[in-house]
Structure 1
Amino acid sequence: MSQKLLALTEPAAMPAKPVSARLGKVAAVGTLFSLLWSSAFVAGKIGLQSAPPFALLAMRFGLASLCLIALLAARHRRRRVPLRLEHAGILVLAGILNNTVYLGLGWIALQTVPAGFAALLTSVYPLLTSALAIPLLRERATWPKFTGLALGAAGVTMVVHHHVSTAGLAPLGIGLLLLGVLALACGTILLKRTAAHQDFLLVTALQTIAGAVSLTVLAGATGEFHAIHWQASLVGALLYLAGGVSIGAALMWLWLLGNGVASNASAFHFLNPLFGTLIAFAVLGEPVNASDLLGGLPIAAGILLMTFAREASHIRTRK
């Protein structure tokens, strides 16, 4: 395993290069992270043509778990990092919420809704997380937060109204997507409570393994493994989802955290509505609706507004 890949898993020292160069690198990595996050729904849509949702997800997280375990072992041999992990039960629960419930519900819905719409609707997760953090984590309720939430709600309403009234999209698929996003937000809240001082690579591996085990049980109980039709498109989707998204995006997130942008890394999610729509158009030929683009604008604005408000609050606290 390359030294460069292992270096991504370790906290990076602040580089001595000019600030503009460092910010440019952060922007590039963050943009690629958003691209990978947004493209997962398109890859999932392709994979679902050959495998049921639980079986596809179980294979994805099974492959990703093996890679993460190998990465942990290689890093441990290199640096002898102690594998101490506190609050393991809570972190496993977060992994089940983030991987099994969120993606399980989302990919069931993906069988009936367009991939671009799914990526757009789930992009509100940072807004929902911030809303839950007010009562659960006792974060301050500020006007920027309320304004961001209002913008996000307006964008979602615009997009959902178009797809229900014009495209005839089933409300059940929309409901499953929103329930999945709620599970993802709850899992993120749990991580905020317990994972702040943990080894992020170990936390990622534990969540991935929890998702792999629980999804394998679900796929086995429902007989989905017998409904897999192996073909090149399924193998390609699996490799991309496991390597590019579950491993690649996770390592990029770790790199962003290690470079001192933990408080505002979620700002890159504001790109998800645009990327999700454009990738679905380019790969699957899904139409680009004006309502999706217009609805994505207030969602993106709300994410940016709440992110920068949180960053300003952290700066005031440090002072």
Structure 2
Amino acid sequence: MKNILRTTTFLAIIACWLWSTAFVGVKIGLEHHTPFQFAGIRFIISGVLIFLYFGKPRQYLLQLKQNLKFILLLSLIQIFAQYALFYSGINLLPSSLSAMIIGSQPLFIAMVAHFSFHNDRMTLRKTLSILIGVVGIAIITLGRTSVEMQGELEWLGICLLLINNIVSGYSNVLIAKNTSGISPVVLSSTSLIIGGLMLSVVSVPLEGIHLGPFPAEYWYALAWLSFLSAAAITIWYSLLKRPGIKVSILNVWKFLIPVLGAALSWLLLSNEKPDLISVLGMLVIALSLISLNYANRRDQQKQQTKKTE
């Protein structure tokens, strides 16, 4: 049982489940707070929670000092730039179109990995498997709401979200390539705190300062979002730094986020019920994951065979 809990597959599913619960919390938070400022506070709290969990201040500060340049770069790209692109994009687009573009993120990450690692190429089987997952995302999205383009600014929104997908791929590659020996716990904590501070500083001239008062539901949402960001990002960083992990294969598990989010809404919201099109989309995504994992195992077997010959 302990071995299963430590597997990449299990931990990736847990991280994706945590991320899938964020949508409701973000929606509640943004009813009472501005996007950049709310995100900044959330990420700072997440980083502090990880710091408290790490519990070794001297070692923490030593690793921060030794890896400051890398941490600042990751904070700028992974937290600040990615979040800024994300919110700027979705504010210009219908929610259905935003969900579909964001859901295609594993495809863009796989393309970035293709040009970054010699052992993570886009083979025909891998490409088809990822495209099947993108089709599944499209089926779920279009089954729930129609996509309608209403203005020229929406093209800007599409571009911003596509750039966000590429930036996400680049940040994943940065973490996977980093061999400095910094703990994933320290890396996630420091990047969240610094990235959160960047968002908070930028939010003041853009959004003003909002000090409340806030209702109880806001604080519940902020607490859960802070916890899930701390847990999910730390898990993901640790997986990216595992020996032999392929960035493209790992990120395909993110196809589960809309699936788990839909399932959660069916369980918790009285006005949300399963529908045939959404279930069909989920089955297509399941096919994508099965196909990709099968292809990955075959590649690993071929590599082992070559080594023994």
TM-score range, shorter chain: 0.7 to 0.9
> Does 2:74 align with 1:61?
no
Give 2:109's aligned amino acid. Answer: T
In the other structure, the counterpart of 1:248 is: 231
In the other structure, the counterpart of 2:135 is: 154
Alpha-carbon distance change, 129 to 239 in structure 1, aligned in 2, over 3 angstroms: same
Task: For structure 2, list consecutive stretches of 5 or more residues without a partner in the other structure.
Answer: none
Alpha-carbon distance change, 195 to 106 in structure 1, aligned in 2, over 3 angstroms: farther
Answer yes or no: is the 8 Å Cα contact 2:103–2:137 preserved in 1. Answer: no
Answer yes or no: is the 8 Å Cα contact 1:55–1:216 preserved in 2. Answer: yes
Aligned counterpart for 1:96 among listed residues 76, 89, 99: 76
In the other structure, the counterpart of 1:34 is: 16
Alpha-carbon distance change, 59 to 174 in structure 1, aligned in 2, over 3 angstroms: same
Q: Distance in 1 between matches of 2:219 and 2:287?
A: 37
> Does 2:37 align with 1:52?
no
Q: Distance in 2 between matches of 1:304 and 1:176?
A: 31
1:133 counterpart SS class: helix
Q: Distance in 1 between matches of 2:2 and 2:45?
A: 35
Residues 270-289 of structure 1: pairs in structure 2 closer than 5 A: 270-283=255-268, 285=271
Q: Deviations over 1:113-157 (max 9, x none)?
A: 55x986665343333211211123343331222212332343344
Answer yes or no: is the 8 Å Cα contact 2:86–2:160 preserved in 1. Answer: yes
> Does 2:121 align with 1:140?
yes
Task: For structure 1, list consecutive stretches of 5 or more residues without a partner in the other structure.
Answer: 1-19
Give 1:206's aligned amino acid. Answer: T
In the other structure, the counterpart of 1:5 is: none
> Does 2:195 align with 1:211?
yes
Alpha-carbon distance change, 265 to 151 in structure 1, aligned in 2, over 3 angstroms: closer
RMSD: 3.8
Deviation at 1:233, TM superposition (A): 1.4
Deviation at 1:189, TM superposition (A): 1.9
In the other structure, the counterpart of 1:232 is: 216
2:257 counterpart SS class: helix
Answer yes or no: is the 8 Å Cα contact 2:188–2:230 preserved in 1. Answer: no
Deviation at 1:39, TM superposition (A): 0.9
Deviation at 1:204, TM superposition (A): 1.1
Q: Distance in 2 between matches of 1:280 and 1:192?
A: 33
Deviation at 1:41, TM superposition (A): 1.9
Deviation at 1:201, TM superposition (A): 1.4
1:222 counterpart SS class: helix
Deviation at 1:195, TM superposition (A): 4.9
> Mean Cα displacement is larger for which, 131-140 or 263-272?
263-272
Length, aligned pairs only: 295
2:126 counterpart SS class: helix
Alpha-carbon distance change, 202 to 235 in structure 1, aligned in 2, over 3 angstroms: same
Aligned counterpart for 2:4 among listed residues 23, 26, 31: 23
> Mean Cα displacement is larger for which, 177-186 or 51-60?
177-186
In the other structure, the counterpart of 2:164 is: 180
Answer yes or no: is the 8 Å Cα contact 1:127–1:148 preserved in 2. Answer: no
Deviation at 1:212, TM superposition (A): 0.9
2:256 counterpart SS class: helix
> Does 2:295 align with 1:309?
yes
2:121 counterpart SS class: coil
* Percent identical: 20
Alpha-carbon distance change, 283 to 55 in structure 1, aligned in 2, over 3 angstroms: farther
In the other structure, the counterpart of 2:182 is: 198
Deviation at 1:272, TM superposition (A): 1.9
Give 1:69's aligned amino acid. Answer: F
Answer yes or no: is the 8 Å Cα contact 1:34–1:272 preserved in 2. Answer: yes
Deviation at 1:53, TM superposition (A): 0.8
Answer yes or no: is the 8 Å Cα contact 2:109–2:251 preserved in 1. Answer: no
> Mean Cα displacement is larger for which, 196-205 or 210-219?
196-205
